[in-house]
Amino acid sequence: MDNSDNIIKPEEAITLHGLFVERVRRSPDKVAYRHFWQDAWRDLTWRQMGNEVARWQAALAGLGLQRGNRVAIMLRNSPYWIMFDQAAMSLGLVVVPLYTMDRPDNVAYIVNDAGVKVLLFETGEQWQALCTVRDQLGGVKCFVSIDAVRDSGEPRLKSMDEFLPKTAQLQLPPANPLGHLHPTHPHPTHPPPNLPLEREGTILPPLQGEGGGGDGFSPREICSNDLTSLIYTSGTTGRPKGVMLSHANMLTNAYACLDFFRVDENDTFLSFLPLSHTFERTVGYYLTVMAGATVAFARSVPLLSEDLQTIRPTLLISVPRIYERVYGAVRAKLEEGSPLKRKLFNFTVETGWARFLHQQGRGPWQASFLLWPLLNKLVAQKVLDRLGGRLRVALSGGAALSPEVSRVFIGLGLSVIQGYGLTETSPVISGNYPENNFPDSVGQPIRDVRVRLGEQNELLVKGPNVMLGYWNNPAATRAMIDADGWLNTGDVVRIGETGHIYITGRTKEIIVMSNGEKIPPNDMELAILHDHLFDQVMIFGEARPYLVALAVLNPEAWQQFAREVGVRADIPESLTDSRVQASVLERIAANLRGFPGYANVHRVLLLQEPWSIDNGLLTPTLKLKRNEVAKRFAAQIKELYEGH
């Protein structure tokens, strides 16, 4: 770690709130967070954040909550997420993050299963959704809304202004409440924290015993192995399970990630993955506090491209889908351009990839490297400018990143680091080191984490990042973690000679056809998605005689494809036209040449509406809900098998 003097080590922090307090002490006047309000980006220093955490701490302490009580956050990424999280942890409360787009019935299930006492949400629309399950939320002691919400007959509902005290229990010197302004296009989002303009005194770190808690609890009693968060898995099937994580789980995980994802106080992150996602929370939040980096909260995914241009981050944490979207946009533009432009782009990527292999010690020097300064200026930098132009490292996790996509970005000069993990492992298990990067792998185990192969070559993991267990579900815990502490990830892997881990499938995501043949749907779907005609694909065929594919078309590519085939793209009937179907199946077959003959796709259902979180077909972490997709299109799937 280059900035080891400024990195806060787990043994110095003890707890996640201790980490925050130590960062406020070390870097009081440095910009901690950047958020958008009214018509400008505004900065908040660590000192200002400390002030606001104290106000939330005082408000929560005033509710008389007991140590270990659960409180829930249902917010978009914002400074308020951090304030509430830190205040709750300082009092020994257990934080339950909720996805803002989750269905009301799922929220009610989690709130009841966790026994949530306080629920912090954001908007009137969210409250209206919660009202549809209000009769199931009787255990909630207090609802707190960031925005003012009109309601009749709900005494438990409070606006943030009503909930927070006007002065803080712990105080800091005065600071500019709005910070520096960064003009950009108007877009309404959260108001700035209500920072008092006049304050006296200095902060007394809660870990020293100052500040209050329910029933006289003193924050200094919090231990590193105490439960601090219940994170409900957004599983693609079945009810979500509450993953119990301790302070030590996430502290040690964030610290270990700094070995391969180097960060310092001069770095800027753009946060857009939900903080409810463990990947963003550990690596995009606690790790940045540990290193003292600045985090800017993106306004929304639709505005991400604009925010990248404004914030110009140096580091990016993302799931593969974002990189795939950028790659898809670049490919679409290339196809509209001249053959010369395509050749120049491909030559640049090939040259850059060869340079990468040479730098890694796995390839020879080539004369084409002498052209790199020119290729970088003409091609590579223009593409990377779409990501702000300052990125030095991009971390990908949450799902498999296509080797083709990573090869392009690496070839353009961006260091893409793929990692791997589970919510149950806090979450990171492995990652590629920049100087030992095998992009088609998920890297090597992080420090203090041990791995081995199980009976079916599934990856077993043991280390300080392994969860305490599932909330109120000892049977599920025993099924996941054996008596010796080894957690079964369920992912089938091979481990190379260099120790790099390669995911080859999942023990649970296998299609068994009626003829007994077993199919890995993820691998087939990734292969089909190499064709830019498709944005999303799902293979179906459990207990069936042959495989079918459900495919969401890329709008631009579909327009061009329809013209080539000779049908009108704007007519729904064109999706079932025999010429279209035959040509699509040919393209799918071309991408599946490397699979066994029984893995052929015989029929395809073409769709134009994307699968999304909003329509219930993707989890909040953008994973496909296979059962939901199958239910939604059950009638059409039935037709695909008729006449067999």
Total-model pTM: 0.79
Task: Report pLDDT for 199.
Answer: 31
Alpha-helical runs (H) found in 1-66: 10-13, 16-26, 46-61
Q: Which residues of 499-536 are buried (b: 16+ CB within 10 A; e: fewer)?
A: ebbebebeeebebebeeeeebbbbbbbbbbbebbbbbb
Range(s) of the domain holding residue 66: 10-25+43-178+191-261+274-289
Could you tell me if 58 and 212 are in contact, meaning their C-beta atoms sit under 8 angstroms apart? yes
Q: Does residue 68 lie in a domain region?
A: yes
CB 451 within 8 A of CB 445: yes
Q: CA–CA separation, 253 vs 250, rounded Å? A: 5
What pLDDT shows up at residue 184? Answer: 34
190 class by beta-carbon count within 10 Å (0-12 exposed, 13-18 middle, 19+ buried): buried
- Residue reference for tokens 């590519």: 557
Q: Contact 32/287 with Cβ under 8 angstroms?
A: no
Mean pLDDT by runs of 10 across the 644 residues of the chain is: 77 96 97 94 97 96 95 97 97 95 88 98 94 94 92 85 74 32 37 38 34 41 93 69 97 96 94 92 97 97 92 92 82 88 96 98 97 96 93 87 90 95 95 94 97 94 98 94 96 94 80 71 87 94 88 94 93 93 94 78 95 87 86 93 74
Q: Which residues pair with 494 in a beta bridge?
A: 502
Helix (H) / strand (E) containing 43: strand 40-45
Whether 329 is in a domain gets the answer no
In a domain, 139, yes or no: yes
Strand 511-512 relative to strand 518-519: parallel, antiparallel, unpaired? antiparallel
Spatial distance between the Cα atoms of 533 and 212, rounded to a whole number of angstroms: 58
CB 277 within 8 A of CB 620: yes
Residue 538 in domain: yes
Angle at 528 between CA 595 and CA 611, to 5 degrees: 135
SS3 annotation, 184-233: CCCCCCCCCCCCCCCCCCCCCCHHHCCCCCHHHCCHHHCCCCCEEEEEEC
In a domain, 413, yes or no: no
Axis-axis angle for helices 555-565, 320-336 (nearest 10): 40
Locate 596 and state its tokens. Answer: 């066994």
* Residue 159 falls inside a structural domain: yes
Name residue, tokens 């298990």: 429
In a domain, 308, yes or no: no
What is d(CA 126, CA 74) in angstroms, rounded to the nearest whole number?
A: 9
Number of domains in the chain: 2
Question: CA 492, 494, 495 angle in degrees (round to 5)?
Answer: 135
Q: Is residue 327 part of a domain?
A: no
Q: What is the predicted pLDDT for the residue at 264?
A: 94
Residues written for the chain: 644
CA distance 553 to 71: 41
3-class DSSP state for residue 395? strand
Q: Output the pLDDT for position 515.
A: 64
Distance CA 167, CA 128 (A): 31
534-540 and 518-519: which strand pairing?
unpaired
β-strand partners of 244: 230, 469
Considering only CA atoms, which of 126, 123, 138, 57 is closest in space to residue 90?
57
Cis peptide before 274 (omega within 30 of 0): no
Q: Which amino acid is at 532?
A: H
Tokens for 50, please give them: 């400390």
CATH number at residue 169: 3.40.50.12780
Strand 534-540 and strand 547-553: the pairing is: antiparallel
Can you tell me whether residue 602 is helix, strand or coil? strand
Residue of 206, 214, 209 lying closest to 63 (CA atoms): 214
Contact 547, 600 (CB under 8 A): yes
With H, G, I as helix, E, B as strand and everything else as coil, classify residue 182: strand
Domain of 563, CATH number, reads 3.30.300.30
Measured between alpha carbons, how far is 188 from 21 in angstroms, rounded to an integer?
A: 31
Helix (H) or strand (E) holding 586: helix 578-591
> Do 322 and 399 touch, CB atoms closer than 8 A?
no
Q: Give the per-residue pLDDT at 206.
A: 39
